[in-house]
Amino acid sequence: MTNKKRATQADVARRANVSQAMVSYVINDNHTVTIPAETRQRILNAMDELGYVPNVTARRLRSSKTFTIAGIIPDITNPFYPAFERGIQDTVDSYGYDLIIYNTDGSREREKKLLTSMSQGRVDGVIGVFFHLRADDLISLIEQQIYVVRLEAVPKYPGRMPLDNIFVDNIAASRTAVEHLIGKGHRRIAMLTSSQGPARFRELGYREALDAHRITFDNTLFSSGAFSEDGGYEAMNSLLKHGARPTAVFAANDLMAMGAMIAIREAGLSIPNDIAVMGFDDIPTAKLVYPALTTVAQNQGTLGQKAAQMLMERINGAAPDQGRSIEMPYRLIERDSTG
């Protein structure tokens, strides 16, 4: 058996009728050089035809980079996060970077452990959803030029260090969600919340909406559980068993809302005629449950793309010296669960 000779950049250049430097610019995704789209495509076609595979190890040695990004999320089983990570991957792929996903289960210890791991130079940048780490905890990474973009639940104003933030205003979005229920005529509106993640900010939006419409906060309509379907089921059951029956429920995320819907049906009640249900996140299954869930969309894929673009700008020296904080839009999605 004869071994087929591995194609080189020079082979690609000859096939595409361009210089070897031009091939290198395309392979390394060099954004300092403008390459016509037709020329770029011709080079990519030549690479496919020849079966050219870039030598990643050599690339890393030449640049002192790993060409790897870490995506840190609290719950890989929550359908919110795969779409977010897909948005990241689609973007970093175009820069020739790999994405490694780490799951923390929302644990303080795991977040700290991953911070230590990242500090060992295994990645060039981090996009993280942190429940416990604060800006000061990330200084050691940034000092090593391992840049960080955080997905936050509320505005985080830029500081002097190059730490970037992207956020959806969860307080305002939750206020909008509860005001939708109030607009439907509801005044006994329960909230299913959690001690985890952004739930506390969504609780603030809930309270703000009640205050704005002169609805007294009723502690018997407030129930807490895990940030999951089981947590929502248990929290809703707790409300119903204590006789504090609301006419509407705002859940801190869609998973909790879906758990609540199961509990409501098991109690022999109908949605939305007896109890209307509002979620938050617009995960893919929100439109598939019955009745389809009214919720707040955060456009997870777009969030991931924007976070990755900010990180690549930082890594490639195209970002300002100081940190940035970018607000992203939310949107109320009205479906059948609120009538």
**pLDDT tens for each residue of the chain, 339 residues long:** 445 577 888 899 999 999 888 888 887 766 667 889 899 899 999 988 988 877 655 555 445 688 899 999 999 999 999 999 999 999 999 888 999 999 999 999 999 999 888 888 789 999 999 999 999 899 889 888 899 999 999 888 767 789 999 999 999 999 999 999 999 999 999 999 998 889 999 999 999 999 999 999 999 999 999 999 999 999 999 999 987 799 999 999 999 999 999 999 999 999 999 999 999 999 999 999 999 999 999 999 999 999 999 999 999 899 998 999 999 999 999 999 999
Angle at 15 between CA 9 and CA 19, to 5 degrees: 55
On whether the CB atoms of residues 69 and 93 are closer than 8 A, the answer is no
Residue 1's pLDDT is what? Answer: 41
Alpha carbons 180 and 174: distance in angstroms, whole number? 10
- Size of the chain in residues: 339
Cα dihedral angle (192, 193, 197, 203), rounded to 10 degrees? 110
Residue 122's pLDDT is what? Answer: 84
Residue with tokens 């210089």: 19
Residue 310's pLDDT is what? Answer: 97
Q: What is the identity of the amino acid at 158?
A: P
3-state secondary structure of 249: strand
pTM listed for this prediction: 0.79
Alpha carbons 289 and 264: distance in angstroms, whole number? 14
Residues 6+ apart with CB under 8 A from 73: 81, 84, 85, 101, 102, 103, 104, 128, 129
Residue 64's pLDDT is what? Answer: 65
CB atoms closer than 10 angstroms to residue 143: 10
Backbone angles phi, psi at 308, to 5 degrees: -65, -40
